[in-house]
Chain A
């Protein structure tokens, strides 16, 4: 027990071999990481990588299939009630009551978390001023813009003095200016409240702001470090170019510079090299097919992602639409059927096959 508490001061979130399976799909597959106190920790990955599943598990909305998670010293599965008390959460989608005013939304939250009236009144003023919504506190949510709703949600998540703030894609669907504004608030919060912030994002530039990031793909953490260290994985500069005949160009380059780190990604050729500006003229001399485009730049996290997974972060978007199934209806009407969660049912079917 003592050992546990000693760790708490450093690691507020500790995840060991966490897995979540939906039937045959491994949404989260054996991930382990820990988040230190006062840190901004980011989860970067494409749609469907398992970001939201992970955050839902950490917020006690989903039960893990296996693994151990400790949040603020409490075991996630055994003490969900205590975990819920020490976290604040902003969901990916807007979850506010449209018929209530901003103030009433906060009041509802305060009552759910058991704040006393005095605490609530003081804290309400603080969080609303922080998110610059104090003047609009009597407005109905119907009249709020997307950015204002997000700010109110952040204010609400802060209301009950949480130790850890979870933000699931906090800036999705907002315009760039509003996005920057939201980030200003997040930094202000960290500075004032010394809070640990855990967030997920699919925007590279947002991930760069974090103290440390975990890159997640297909339910696995493929890299975890500070943005700078991750970028150091790719040595120096990047040259990305296209030619009319990539096969020929690749062959010629390999002949001329055998040591060269050359990769083919889709229709592009990518070279990692320490002094890109000096190499460019040499490259142009060697390559005979006509070059259609060329770019020289410092590596970004996007390149890191590309390097590790061989794909771009926002490559294949598009959501699957669920279909109506008769099976669920029959299950509904059958009072004798045991209440199996969907995942177990699927497992069962798979076993039979």
Chain B
């Protein structure tokens, strides 16, 4: 038996994630339409509470980067945390008995999840102009890059959590006690600038808050003035970007360490 390119297993694990995303038509469409529905109905509804003359920006436009980031995050979390089931009842076993490096399984899974999130992000971004957001090619690419940075880190984080779950039953508690607070404190639904101090303090440890602030800086840069944006975001673009990169590096390392132990 000849040995092939050692990255083939990594590729096929990544490829499987992509196939599964497109094969599951229902999941594909809901992943695109749910955020758009939230933007259109929820956003337009909330807009009436704060009339435009009080806020000097459109609430739906404020809402957009948050919902974009969140829906991508939920996407990667759901596909990486599902590895808990996969290990117990599913396909992960087939990969585990194969002569494949553990790191390849981890990164195949993480990159697969990130790619599906990028596809989703790309499609949602196409909606932005219809909400009155001015996009340029540079902003578009920048936003995709930021989604990648954010989702990669969160995917690793999901895998990290999954690797530490000793029982499948703890899963629902995990979503309630870890994921939900992170989502609410991400600044997607409201600006973190004016919330009580204790919330701001917690938000400083929340990678999602950095990711969504970075997205907001990037996507709204042509639509909303610099002053308004600095009033809406907790972190500057540079801060957020730096944090995301450090977070990604750190969590990759941690995840790999935990994941290897989890599997043997």
Query: For chain B residues 76-106, which have a beta carbon within 8 Å of chain A?
Result: 89-91, 93-100
Q: What is the distance, in angstroms, from B9's C-beta to the closest C-beta of chain A?
A: 5
CB of A112 within 8 A of CB of B9, answer yes
CB of A332 within 8 A of CB of B170, answer yes
Closest to B9 in A: A112
Q: Is A119 an interface residue (CB 8 A)?
A: yes
Closest to A160 in B: B1
Q: Is B264 an interface residue (CB 8 A)?
A: yes
Which of A93-101, A179-187, A301-309 forms part of the interface with chain B? A93-101
Question: Which residue of the partner chain, among B24, B99, B161, B170, contacts A85 with CB atoms under 8 Å?
Answer: B99
Q: Is B166 an interface residue (CB 8 A)?
A: yes
Q: Is A339 an interface residue (CB 8 A)?
A: yes
Q: Is A331 an interface residue (CB 8 A)?
A: yes
Q: Is A59 an interface residue (CB 8 A)?
A: yes
Q: Is B261 an interface residue (CB 8 A)?
A: yes
* Chain B residues with CB below 8 A from A339, complex form: 164, 258, 261
Question: Which residue of the partner chain, among A95, A111, A325, contacts B167 with CB atoms under 8 Å?
Answer: A325
Q: A63-B264, A331-B166, A332-B174 are in contact. Are A95 and B23 (CB under 8 A)?
A: no
Q: A322-B167, A332-B170 are in contact. Are A95 and B4 (CB under 8 A)?
A: no
CB of A93 within 8 A of CB of B16, answer no
Q: Is B19 an interface residue (CB 8 A)?
A: yes
Q: Is A6 an interface residue (CB 8 A)?
A: no
Q: Is A207 an interface residue (CB 8 A)?
A: no
- How distant is the Cα of A112 from the Cα of B169 in the complex, in angstroms? 30
Q: Is A109 an interface residue (CB 8 A)?
A: yes
Q: A99-B19, A113-B99, A114-B4 are in contact. Are A61 and B93 (CB under 8 A)?
A: yes
Query: For chain A residues 63-100, which have a beta carbon within 8 Å of chain B?
Result: 63, 81-82, 84-85, 87, 89, 91, 93, 95-97, 99-100
CB of A114 within 8 A of CB of B9, answer yes
The secondary-structure label for the interface of chain B is: helix
- How distant is the Cα of A331 from the Cα of B258 in the complex, in angstroms? 13
* Chain B residues with CB below 8 A from A112, complex form: 9, 12, 94-95, 98-100
CB of B97 within 8 A of CB of A93, answer no
* Chain B residues with CB below 8 A from A329, complex form: 170, 173-174, 177
CB of B170 within 8 A of CB of A99, answer no
- How distant is the Cα of A325 from the Cα of B167 in the complex, in angstroms? 9
Chain A 318-353, CB-CB to B under 8 Å as 1, else 0, gives: 000011110011011100000101100000000000
Q: What is the distance, in angstroms, from A39's C-beta to the closest C-beta of chain B?
A: 21
* Chain B residues with CB below 8 A from A109, complex form: 94, 98
Q: Is B237 an interface residue (CB 8 A)?
A: no
* Chain B residues with CB below 8 A from A119, complex form: 1-2
CB of A111 within 8 A of CB of B19, answer no
Q: Is A116 an interface residue (CB 8 A)?
A: yes
Q: Is B20 an interface residue (CB 8 A)?
A: yes
The secondary-structure label for the interface of chain A is: loop
* Chain B residues with CB below 8 A from A114, complex form: 1-4, 8-9, 99
Q: Is A223 an interface residue (CB 8 A)?
A: no
Q: Is B178 an interface residue (CB 8 A)?
A: yes
* Chain A residues with CB below 8 A from B91, complex form: 95-97
Q: A111-B9, A114-B3, A114-B9 are in contact. Are A328 and B167 (CB under 8 A)?
A: yes
Closest to B173 in A: A329
Q: Is B148 an interface residue (CB 8 A)?
A: no
Q: Is A108 an interface residue (CB 8 A)?
A: yes
- How distant is the Cα of A85 from the Cα of B98 in the complex, in angstroms? 7
Q: Is B165 an interface residue (CB 8 A)?
A: yes
CB of A333 within 8 A of CB of B24, answer no
CB of A328 within 8 A of CB of B165, answer yes
Closest to A325 in B: B167
* Chain B residues with CB below 8 A from A84, complex form: 97-99
Query: For chain A residues 94-132, which have a beta carbon within 8 Å of chain B?
Result: 95-97, 99-100, 104, 108-109, 111-116, 119
* Chain B residues with CB below 8 A from A116, complex form: 2, 4
- How distant is the Cα of A161 from the Cα of B11 in the complex, in angstroms? 22
Query: For chain B residues 2-39, which have a beta carbon within 8 Å of chain A?
Result: 2-4, 8-9, 11-12, 16, 19-20, 23-24
Q: A63-B264, A332-B165 are in contact. Are A111 and B97 (CB under 8 A)?
A: no
* Chain B residues with CB below 8 A from A82, complex form: 99
Question: Which residue of the partner chain, among B11, B23, B164, contacts A111 with CB atoms under 8 Å?
Answer: B11
Q: Is A60 an interface residue (CB 8 A)?
A: yes
CB of B97 within 8 A of CB of A59, answer yes
CB of B24 within 8 A of CB of A99, answer yes
Q: What is the distance, in angstroms, from B78's C-beta to the closest C-beta of chain A?
A: 16
Pull 14 A–B residue pairs with CB atoms less than 8 Å apart, ordered by A: A60-B97, A85-B1, A89-B97, A99-B23, A112-B12, A112-B98, A112-B100, A114-B3, A114-B4, A114-B8, A119-B2, A324-B167, A332-B164, A333-B178
* Nearest 10 interchain pairs by C-beta: A111-B12, A112-B98, A84-B99, A324-B169, A328-B166, A114-B4, A99-B23, A85-B99, A332-B164, A89-B97
Which B residues have a C-beta under 8 Å from some C-beta of A? 1-4, 8-9, 11-12, 16, 19-20, 23-24, 89-91, 93-100, 161, 164-167, 169-170, 173-174, 177-178, 258, 261, 264
Given contacts A112-B100, A331-B166, 8 further A-B contacts (CB under 8 A): A91-B93, A95-B93, A108-B12, A108-B16, A112-B99, A115-B1, A115-B4, A329-B174
